[in-house]
Chain A
Amino acid sequence: MKLAKSIEEIRSDFPILSTKAYGKPLVYLDNGATTQKPLQVIKLLEELYRTTNANVHRGVHYLSDMVSERYEAARETVRAFINAGAREEIIFTAGTTASINAVAFSFGERYVREGDEIVISGMEHHANIVPWQMLCERKKAKLKVIPFSDAGVLDLEAYRSLLSERTRIVAVTHVSNVLGTINPVKEIVAEAHRHGIPVLIDGAQGIQHGMVDVTDFDCDFYVFSGHKVYGPNGIGVLYGKAEVLNELPPYQGGGDMVANVTFEKTTYNVLPFKFEAGTTNFTGAIGLAAALDYISLLGREAVTEREQALLARATTGLSAIEGLRIYGTAPQKVSLISFLPGAIHQYDAGMILDKMGIAVRTGTHCAQPLMGRYGITGNIRASIAFYNTEDEVDALVKGVRKVTEMFA
């Protein structure tokens, strides 16, 4: 598969990539934290504020109609991108964290009782741990954790044995933000469904790298953030099966989510509005749709293919450095690599790489339990996007070599 644009054209769509850091060309390899935005998104946001700003769903006037239409078109774009069954199954939120908290609260209120169990995995981001812990505390429920191997592969045998008649929900990440592992979500969902248990998939890292097909996964919830898929900040998605969402109580009250309000009783609006209280981030939603359109235009398979080639190059280059350990060597991985060069502290390495203009993430990556599993206080993560180049990958490898020399 070939990308619809040349790499030079793609890079010129992302003006920030030509930044100089300390006088050197910036090598942006922190795409797992957030992705850069193409001009197609940046210009659109400006255009929206300039020409199409009014509150959605709240006016009969020209501008309000126009923006409401575009907002609903954005919902359709998201639906198509993740292959959801219906448009009203797409709820716009502030991001992954907001989506998970919404489900943990709403689902928790409806279904979780004392002594019940919630299953997550040992490779979760704090965003998919803490909301469930908070729920467990509220309801006196128990958190069960699926272990994983040194290579970073979930132990499905152990997973099966964790499911019981007390399990109310399973919440697992699609892709580990530290190990890069692509989890077998379809299998995980099927297993839970055999017991009638719904599943939430944290798609924060999954959405960026390839095929997300919620109909095929058959998951009950899939959540992600716009900023990690080349879209704006402060917008995210909560996908939920209509039959599941319809059973849940709203988690925030306010305007737009109601049908009828009297001081005696309020009835709620239908999906998706029931879960979109208050003025929504409609510019963000329309911007997100533009980002998804951009990826679709490039070709999603081609994007994945390019990222896999860059990943292979980085893995080969880094592996050749003596004493360097890579964390996460699952057979199915997205284009991110976590590593430590020998006994060198991640912060030391990160600081030197920064001075070379190379942006990587250092620390625990909001996954402290995972770090504990490997007995480390953190590591270095290089996360690669399709707009990165072979030269940038080589610069990383060279930079890490230099670091190992400096600290030898």
Chain B
Amino acid sequence: MTINEIQDQIIEEFAQFGDWMERYEYLIDLGRSLGPFDERHKTPEYLIEGCQSKVWLYPSFEEGIITFTADSDALITRGIVALLVRVFSGRTPAEIVDARIYFIEKIGLRENLSPTRSNGLLAMMKQMRLYALAYKTKQEHS
């Protein structure tokens, strides 16, 4: 599936919820079922410090594919982290660099990515792109 196909899939999943409460309950479930994050990577290097919640993001790059694992100390943030990992992990650097993210807005979570929220999510998205750019440059020069 392409990045956009996954985004559309997420939009469809959220379309079945009636009200905000159900959406947030789903996010909480997603947060709970997010894959494990290696505790050894909970270091300042991989920490994205928001004022409201913390996010850890760990990249690895193998055979042209970037894999992200991530975590957060807040459960709803973790739910959104899970969605971002689902969209961005297992992609080539070029796919990530070229991606346009529209699903967050479509599922009514836009305020969660506003710079004033300072929950680490916006910075996390930026960081994912930065890693992708770095890997892309590395690819082009090897």
Contacts and interface: CB of A to CB of B under 8 A. Distances in A.
A156 to B, nearest CB: 33
Interface of B: 20-21, 24-25, 28, 51-54, 73-77, 119
Given A363-B52, A406-B28, A348 B75 contact: yes
Contacts of A406: 24-25, 28
Interface in A345-388: 345-348, 350-352, 355, 362-364, 377-378
A377 B25 contact: no
A351 B24 contact: yes
B28 A363 contact: no
Contacts of A346: 52, 74
B74 A345 contact: yes
Given A347-B53, A348-B28, 11 more contacts: A22-B20, A345-B53, A346-B52, A346-B74, A347-B119, A348-B75, A355-B24, A363-B52, A364-B51, A406-B28, A407-B28
Contacts of B119: 347
Nearest to A22: B20
A91 to B, nearest CB: 32
B76 A351 contact: yes
A352 B24 contact: yes
Nearest to A354: B111
B21 A348 contact: no
Interface residues of A, number: 17
A363 B51 contact: yes
Contacts, number: 39
* Residue among A345, A348, A362 with the highest chain B CB neighbour number at 10 A: A348
Contacts of B73: 345, 377
A362 B52 contact: yes
B74 A347 contact: yes
B18 to A, nearest CB: 14
A348 B25 CA distance: 11
Given A362-B52, A363-B52, A347 B20 contact: no
A347 B52 contact: yes
Nearest to B20: A355
Q: Which 8 A-B pairs have the closest CB atoms?
A: A345-B74, A347-B74, A347-B52, A347-B53, A348-B76, A348-B74, A348-B75, A355-B20
Contacts of A362: 52
Contact of A347 (B24, B25, B28, B77): B77
A348 B75 CA distance: 6
A399 to B, nearest CB: 12
Nearest to A352: B24
A161 to B, nearest CB: 35
Contacts of A363: 51-52
A29 B24 CA distance: 22
A267 B20 CA distance: 64
B16 to A, nearest CB: 19
A273 B75 CA distance: 53
Contacts of B76: 347-348, 351-352
Contacts of B74: 345-348
A56 to B, nearest CB: 35
A22 B23 CA distance: 15
22 contacts: A22-B20, A344-B75, A345-B53, A345-B74, A345-B75, A346-B74, A347-B74, A347-B77, A347-B119, A348-B28, A348-B76, A348-B77, A351-B24, A352-B76, A355-B24, A363-B51, A363-B52, A364-B51, A406-B24, A406-B25, A407-B28, A407-B75
A233 B87 CA distance: 43
Contacts of B53: 345, 347
A5 to B, nearest CB: 35
A348 to B, nearest CB: 5
Contacts of A348: 28, 74-77
Nearest to A364: B51
Interface in A1-43: 22
Nearest to A362: B52
Contacts of A351: 24, 76
A364 B25 CA distance: 26
A248 to B, nearest CB: 35
A359 to B, nearest CB: 14
